[in-house]
């Protein structure tokens, strides 16, 4: 029997392309949370200027590092970043559902593999009986060349009895094989249904990924606009020397 392969866990959604220039990045740091779009090097640098209980926006504009502590600007950036993450949360939830389905599919695959063992054993028994019957056929052919005698009749009766016992054994094996085949078929149908569900979740994950990418790019434009406005208003300070 063909077994359905246990699926791999779904890959986490890829981070969206923010379309930011290498020298135009930022990192928003608060107590216990960080939101950023840029280099981790900038993040480490920003943390050096973070004061406990006070949020901080580290900006790199045209390659120059700046700090923004203005409360209104921080609130605007924080809200935009949080909105951008909502679809990511939805993707994470879908990923969890996909992982749960993957576990069910793997469990079914294990059951199918376990059923395959006795089915293989039954096939081996069928082959063994076929071999023994071939031997009986050869023995019958040899007896046909002998003259009629009580000894020949006795041997033929023994061969008939052996054939009959094989018929009974094969009947039992066929019933056992049929029962196993039905179980295997049921598992295959269940595996197919789970596969369809997994496919639908994958399609939904793809749609959400496209939405998230588009939304994130739009949100990043808004964030950069807020940062530009803060810089124009003189609310950004260069790093202390």
Q: Mean per-residue pLDDT for 57-83? A: 89
Specify which residues 238 forms β-bridges with: 66
- Asked whether the beta carbons of 20 and 222 are under 8 A apart, the reply is no
Q: Mean per-residue pLDDT for 226-235? A: 94
Percent of the chain's residues with pLDDT above 90: 43
pLDDT in tens, 26-53: 888 888 778 888 778 888 888 888 888 8
Q: Mean per-residue pLDDT for 59-70? A: 90
**pLDDT(105) > 80:** yes
Residues 101-128, buried b or exposed e (16+ Cβ, 10 A)?
Answer: bbeebeebbebbeebeeebeebeebeee
Percent of the chain's residues with pLDDT above 70: 88
pLDDT of residue 160: 92
Task: Please give the Cα distance from 93 to 216 (Å, whole number).
Answer: 18
What band does 10 get if pLDDT is binned at 50, 70 and 90? very low
Q: Is 53 left (phi over 0), alpha (psi -120 to 50) or beta?
A: left
Q: Is 32 left (phi over 0), alpha (psi -120 to 50) or beta?
A: left
Task: Please give the Cα distance from 58 to 189 (Å, whole number).
Answer: 55
Low-confidence winner among 29-38, 57-66, 86-95 (lowest mean pLDDT): 86-95
Helix (H, G, I), strand (E, B), or coil: what is residue 178? helix
Return the DSSP state at 24: S
């Amino acid at each position: 029997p063909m077994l359905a392969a246990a699926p791999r866990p779904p890959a986490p959604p890829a981070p969206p392309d923010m379309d930011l220039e290498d020298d135009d990045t930022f990192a928003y740091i608060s107590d216990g949370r960080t939101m950023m779009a840029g280099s981790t090097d900038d993040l480490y640098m920003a943390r050096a200027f973070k004061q406990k209980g006070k949020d901080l926006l580290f900006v790199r504009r045209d390659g120059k590092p700046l700090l923004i502590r203005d409360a209104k600007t921080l609130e605007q950036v924080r809200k935009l970043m949080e909105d951008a993450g909502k679809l990511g949360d939805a993707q994470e939830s879908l990923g969890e559902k996909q992982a749960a389905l993957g576990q069910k599919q793997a469990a079914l695959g294990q059951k199918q593999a376990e059923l395959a063992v006795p089915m293989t054993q039954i096939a081996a028994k069928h082959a063994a009986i076929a071999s023994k019957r071939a031997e009986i056929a050869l023995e019958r052919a040899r007896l046909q060349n002998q003259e009629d005698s009580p000894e020949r009749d006795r041997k033929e009766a023994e061969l008939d009895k052996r054939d009959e016992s094989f018929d009974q054994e094969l009947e039992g094996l066929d019933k056992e094989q049929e029962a196993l085949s039905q179980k295997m078929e049921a598992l295959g149908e269940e595996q197919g249904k789970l596969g369809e569900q997994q496919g639908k979740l994958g399609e939904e994950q793809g749609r959400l990924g496209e939405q998230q990418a588009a939304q994130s790019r739009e949100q990043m434009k808004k964030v950069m606009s807020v940062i530009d406005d803060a810089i124009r208003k003189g609310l950004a300070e260069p790093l202390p020397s």
